[in-house]
Amino acid sequence: MDVMRGLGERGESTPLGGVENLMLHFTPYSEDWSKLPVIVSGEGCYVTDDRGRSYVDGLAGLFTTQVGHGRTELADVAATQMKELGFFPNWSFQHPRSLELAEKMAQIAPGDLNSVFFVSSGSEAIETVIKLSRQYHNANGEESRRKVISRKIAYHGTTMGALSVTGIPSFRAPFEPLLQGFYHVPNTQQDPEGAADAIEEAIEFGPPETVAAVILEPVQNAGGCLVPPPEYWKRVREICDKHGVLLVSDAVICAFGRLGEWFGIERFDVVPDMTTFAKGVTSGYLPMGGVMVNDKVRSALASNAPMFMHGSTFGGHPVSSAVALENIRIIEREKLLENVHSLEGYFGDELRRVAGEHPIVKEVRGMGFFWALEIRPERPDGTKLAEDEYQKYFKGVLSRKLLEGGLICRFDDKEDPVIQYSPALVADRGIIGRIAEITDSALTELERELGYRS
């Protein structure tokens, strides 16, 4: 998924075997995979590759390692749990760690999001949301409510249901036909003023009695940290209530402190009917995802459905649950949500300072520890780069310079190109300053190559 492109053009090949055997995710075959970085260890906001080179992990793995790398506390609770009960499912049985985690999550979730269904990834969480929505409406005697509305360019995962929610045409094209009745409306960058009304129009076109759910990220990731206008979420909540449609926040990225709150959506003063989570719940030390459900949805199912007809072997895994509990304790103990709140202004200011020195930067967007710089794919006179030039300068020069400078971040070009940053929540001014400094040098190099400066 475009974490950084063009990296296989650099350096020598890894001496490690297995390159011919390992299939990478969202990584072009045109690159020399033997030259991609092999990350062997991590500590705090830094990771080290097999040649001993150190990088600032400006992406927290993949928006995931909230408490940073190298946390022995997480390893210790995992080892203790494995010795006590290495595995048991949440099918017809319960175990202490998933009960404790469910109780804790109900305490930290906003409003009446009091129940949780655990799975093992973000995509599975979205699959669960689709099924919960449909079964909720069945339970209310509204079997015709099947359709799902989400936003253009939004990424919600790769399994066939989640991919149907995803609004990125190139990700969908090889696998069509996807599920029927999934619609994509303009995102808040494409139509800031009309984006909420577009949801209402889609529901009315539905017509409403066929629409099950609206699924949106608090701040849309794909496209580059699309922070919605202030009243957007409240308006969408009103629209969903008016038409009897469930409102789902997909907080796979935005939860567990990424926006400075437990579920991200608190920043917009709205309580959805459900919220997903994954990634940061365990800081990625073990796979886990899930869906928090409000009392209305839980009680409709409990009263009128024989059971929620869904499950997975590893949902609520005891070791993942133990790690998630300790991860939450670390976030609380070390006041990491507070750290994000206190440094988000500095983060934005640093990026705006860099942007001010580089005419190639079009916009700085973001909140919390989730930021993007949008870059113009143009020459100084405003002429667009041809595709081969774009590949050469953006995926080649820019991505490579960022990495050679010692920064792992994300280069994404599903819309106009953006560099994205999402460091661990333990990052301090020093780390943020280093991220800005490396970005500054890489942009200087790009601008030199494109004739913005001599």
Ligand X SMILES: Cc1ncc(COP(=O)(O)O)c(C=O)c1O
Q: Which residues bind ligand X (CB under 6 A)?
A: 121-123, 126, 155-157, 217, 221, 250, 252-253, 278, 289
Closer to ligand X at the Cβ: 178 or 300? 178
Nearer to ligand X (CB atom), residue 146 or residue 156: 156
Q: Which two tokens stand for residue 329?
A: 């304790």
Give min distance, CB of 247 to ligand X, in A: 15
Give the list of residues 6+ apart from residue 277 with CB closer than 8 angstroms, or none.
125, 251, 252, 255, 256, 263, 289, 290, 291, 292
Query: What is the residue-wise DSSP string for 269-320?
Result: T---SEEEE-GGGTTTSS--EEEEEEHHHHHHHHHH-SS-----TTTT-HHH
Q: Quote the CA–CA distance of 276 and 218 in Å, as a whole number.
A: 11
**Max CA pair span of the chain:** 71
Three-state DSSP class for residue 213: strand
Nearer to ligand X, 252 or 373 (CB): 252
Shortest gap between Cβ of 354 and ligand X (angstroms)? Answer: 25
Closer residue to ligand X (CB): 255 or 443: 255
Residue 87 CB, nearest approach to ligand X (Å): 20
CB of 248 to ligand X, least distance (A): 11
**Cβ of residue 122: shortest distance to ligand X, in angstroms?**
2
Cβ density class 347-380: b for 16+ within 10 Å, e for less: bbebbeebbeebebbbbbbbbbbbbbbbbbbbee
Nearest residue to ligand X on Cβ basis: 122
Q: How far is the CB of 42 from ligand X (least distance, A)?
A: 19
What whole-number distance in Å separates Cα of residue 125 and Cα of residue 156?
Answer: 9
Distance, in Å, from the CA atom of 63 to the CA atom of 241, rounded to the nearest integer, reads 31
Cα angle 225-229-230, degrees, rounded to a multiple of 5: 115
CA pair distance 111, 293, nearest whole angstrom: 10
Give the strands of the sheet with 54-57, arranged side by side: 39-43, 46-49, 54-57, 407-408
By C-beta, is 121 or 135 nearer to ligand X?
121
The nearest distance, CB 450 to ligand X, in angstroms, is 31
Provide the minimum distance between the beta carbon of 341 and ligand X in the complex, in angstroms, as a whole number. 22
**Nearest distance from C-beta of residue 146 to ligand X, angstroms:** 21
Given the complex with ligand X, which of 253 and 431 has the nearer CB atom?
Answer: 253
Task: Supply angle C-alpha 51, 405, 13, rounded to 5.
Answer: 35
* CB of 209 vs ligand X, minimal distance in Å: 27
Q: Give the tokens for residue 4.
A: 């950084």
Do 92 and 253 meet the contact criterion of CB atoms below 8 Å apart? no
- The helix/strand/coil state of 334 is coil
* Nearer to ligand X among residue 253 and residue 351 (C-beta): 253
Q: What's the CA angle centered on 163, arms 418 and 290, to 5 degrees?
A: 95
Nearer to ligand X, 9 or 415 (CB): 415
Contact 364, 413 (CB under 8 A): no
Closer to ligand X by CB, 186 or 406: give it.
Answer: 186
Which is nearer to ligand X, 250 or 350 (by Cβ)?
250
- Residues with Cβ within 8 Å of residue 258, at least 6 apart in sequence: 63, 66, 264, 280, 340, 368, 369, 370, 422, 425
Phi and psi for 330 in degrees, rounded to 5?
Answer: -65, -45
Supply the minimum distance, in Å, between the C-beta of residue 254 and ligand X.
Answer: 8
Question: For ligand X, which is the closer residue by CB, 123 or 187?
Answer: 123
Name the DSSP letter for residue 382: S
